[in-house]
Amino acid sequence: MSEVEETLNRIKTHKGVSGIVIVNSDGVPMRSTLDSKQTLQYSALISQLAAKARSVVRELDPQNDLTFLRIRSKKHEIMVAPDREYILIVIQDPNADQGS
């Protein structure tokens, strides 16, 4: 249990990481380091996207399943780890950390 906490902390304090959101299977955010408005936005939007992505993967081959989803945009990268019980979302700005 504490390993998870430790790892979460390390990711949180990593330079370039803007925030972490953990959403449960109903779409309700359980933990977040962002403000509440952003948290709600991210949780709603990303849940839907992850569900759609999973649907795509499984539709192509039902024995396959989605493991990770990464969306790279100009400003940052959103990394999503979907699971049956939760969705883990990490937002990072890859350029903020170069040179360290």
Partner 1 sequence: MLKSQDLEKEVPPRVLYPLNPRAAHNTTQYSFKEKCFKVDEQVDQVVMHFAMDGLILLKESPEAMDQIEVFEKKEAEQNEKEEAEAIDEDFDPPENEKEIPVKNPLRNQFNFSERAAQSKNAILRERSWTTEPPPTTRNYGTVTQWEIFDQYMAEIEAAKLVHSQDKKSGKSAYDDMSEKKKKSDSDPTYSENMKLSIKIMERMVNQNAENEVYHDFKYWEDRSDEFRDGEGTLLPLWRFSSEKAKKKQVTCIKWNPHYSDLCAVGFGSYDFMRQGTGVICCYSLKNTRFPEYVFNTDAGVCSLDWHPAHPAVLAVGLYDGTVLVYDVRARTKKPIYQSTVRTNKHTDPVWEVRWNNDESTGALNFYSISSDGRVSNWFLLKNKLESEEVMELKLMGSPGTGEEDETSLAGLAGGLCFDFHSHSDHSHLFLVGTEEGRIHKCSKAFSGQYLETYEGHTMAVYSVRWNPFHEKIFISASADWTVKLWNHENRFAILSFDLSQAIGDVAWAPYSSTTFAAITSDGAGGSTSGVVHVYDLSVNRNDHICAQKVVKRAKLTHVAFSKSEPIIIVGDDRGGSHLVNTLKLSPNLRIDVVRTDETDQNLTDMDMQLQKMEHLLEMVTETKTT
Q: Which residues bind partner 1 (CB under 8 A)?
A: 1, 3-4, 7-8, 10-11, 14-17, 22, 24-25, 30-31, 55, 58-59, 62-63, 68, 70, 77, 79, 81, 83-86, 88, 90, 92, 94, 97-98, 100
CA proximity to 78, closest of 67, 66, 89: 89
Q: How far is the CB of 3 from partner 1 (least distance, A)?
A: 6
CB nearer to partner 1: pick between 40 and 79: 79
d(CA 87, CA 100): 29
Judged by phi (left if over 0) then psi (alpha if -120 to 50, else beta), residue 80 lies in beta
